[in-house]
Amino acid sequence: MMIRKILFFTLVCFLPVLLLAVPDSVTVNGLSSGAVIARGDTLSWKIYVNKAGDTVVCELWCDINGNGVAEQGTDLFLTSFAQTDGGKVGDEGLPDFDGELNRVIYSVVAIGFAPADYIFVVRSGAAAVQSTFRFIEFGDAPTYTISGRVVYDADNSPAQNVYISAEKDMDQGPLDVFHWGALTGSDGSYTIRTKAAQGSEWYVRARSAESYMAVPAETTVVLSNNITNLDFRLVQAKFIAGIVKDTNDQPLENVQVRVRNTVGMGSDIEGITNSEGKYCVPVSEGKYFVIFQLPDFIRTTYNQKYVEWLGDTVKVSASDDTVKNINAVLRKGGVITGTIRNGTCDGVNLFTQNNWGQPPFAYMYPGSAQAYSMMVLPGTYYVMFSANQGSTQIWYNQKLSPQQAEPVVVGNYPDTVRGIDVDFNITSVVEKKAVVREFKLSQNYPNPFNPSTILEFSVPQDGIAKLVVMNILGQEVANLYDGYAKAGVNYQVKFDGSNLTSGIYFARLEFGGRYLTKKVTLMK
């Protein structure tokens, strides 16, 4: 499943280590209120907190009626995210750019929000501070434009104040403009003026402050010329709703709720819990993972799972108006943290000795991460770091197999285990020395998986080996390896099931007239 690492609309922070504290104040572009920013210029903010290391929750709103008050149903909630004083790159989200424990959280990005008024809200429980600011149109000519119209599906009437965003992967860092936006006018039309490069790929979405969903949900365009007639229709939304509490049965406010389509199409849909712990997120028909996260608590997927692809899916059918009681209980635990060296880690997985097939905790990290931090339940774990889309795995402490891995013991909150590091310069990407020469096909991991998993095999002597995946009818759906294999080498192969449906499949290894088979489960 591809998740774009984009600052607003799709990017979220998960900084679980530090306690929330009351924010003192916030400024945007150096002003407590009233900053004016040209589209494509830098947006910066400073959050002043009570003590070094404090964590706060931030919200960004498009102030549709311009009254300086964030109002649900009228204004457009864009995103929420957590930030920590002194936070480093290593979790999904923005770090503190000055990197110091100095009671100031500083961030800066270049962005092209729609010309409109905005509200930046910083919260901790019931306490909140805010700064209002405005984006205005840039003065010079655009390189490319994207235009179209938005109407209500029921009667074809124009939809006003719908936010249209064009976003791209953040591949050049925070000062690379990765978001351009526009609001629809009274006739439902919009034009996004950009300074995008020729040939760049953008993902275009429409969002309404009302209870509607856009069709299509997202469209991909490549800007080699101006894009016209990129139209959207607003259909009455369906809803996923529930309540989030802690282990003392107390409601939790400001929990970020991320709703993700199980087929990995489109961006996450975001919501946030109110003072009663309740949330309601608009969706369309489909299957979804629902993910709950709040600083100081373990990131949780419905139904009380801690690995996204192992969470129960929520099905929204054509006959549903609201799918209710998608609830969660958030727990606290200990923290594992460490440094990533000489490589781009894309996942940290924790296994237990009695279950090597399904990690009870797993997190994905952006390729730029140089550190990681994850809160888990107390226990003994074996930590596996993956890179190159899962084709490389290294176990702590620089071990090449789970049998060699060293255990990591994590206590109760607020216990923190530091120094669980990895260096990707130590091992080969594909081949690893096997302990013995044997004919072996290991159980895939993770299992179940979505959309990819890793299979390992070895052969007793040099020769031709073939590894395929078959469906329950015995039909071959993937040829993973077909060629010469050397004895004494542990081969590692990735199986990508993105184009397959959920279900049971069989991996079969053939060598010298002998066969080994393992059952693997794809769960979308």
What CATH number did the domain enclosing 167 receive?
2.60.40.10
Opening angle at CA 13, ends 9 and 18, nearest 5: 155
What residue numbers bound the domain in which 465 lies?
432-522
pLDDT of residue 98: 85
Q: Among the three residues 330, 362, 397, which one is the final residue of a domain in this structure?
A: 330
Residues 126 and 31 grouped into a single domain: yes
pLDDT of residue 2: 32
User: Which sign does the torsion angle of CA 208, 214, 218, 222 carry?
Assistant: negative
Domains in the chain, number = 5
CATH at residue 407: 2.60.40.1120
* Cα-based distances in Å from 213 to 51, 140, 185, 232: 41, 33, 18, 10
Q: Among the three residues 330, 360, 394, which one is the final residue of a domain in this structure?
A: 330
Q: Among the three residues 285, 311, 330, which one is the final residue of a domain in this structure?
A: 330
Per-residue pLDDT for the chain (524 aa), expressed as one digit of tens each? 233 333 333 333 333 333 445 578 999 999 999 999 999 999 999 999 988 888 888 899 999 999 999 988 899 988 888 888 887 654 445 678 888 889 999 999 899 999 999 999 998 767 889 999 999 999 999 999 999 999 999 999 999 999 999 998 765 555 689 899 999 999 999 999 999 999 999 999 999 987 899 998 889 999 999 999 999 999 999 999 999 999 999 999 889 899 988 765 556 788 889 889 999 999 888 889 999 988 889 999 999 999 877 778 999 998 989 999 999 999 999 999 888 888 777 788 888 877 766 788 887 665 555 778 889 999 999 998 887 666 677 889 888 777 788 899 999 988 889 999 988 875 333 444 434 568 889 888 888 888 888 888 888 887 888 999 988 777 889 999 888 787 777 888 889 888 898 888 889 999 887 888 888 888 87
Question: CB–CB of 264/452 below 8 Å?
Answer: no
Residues 452 and 516 grouped into a single domain: yes
pTM of the model: 0.67
Residues 28 and 121 grouped into a single domain: yes
Residues 463 and 411 grouped into a single domain: no
pLDDT of residue 127: 80
Closest C-alpha to 477, from 520, 441, 435: 520
Q: For residue 310, report the phi and psi dihedrals to the nearest 5 degrees.
A: -100, -5
Closest C-alpha to 497, from 478, 517, 518: 478
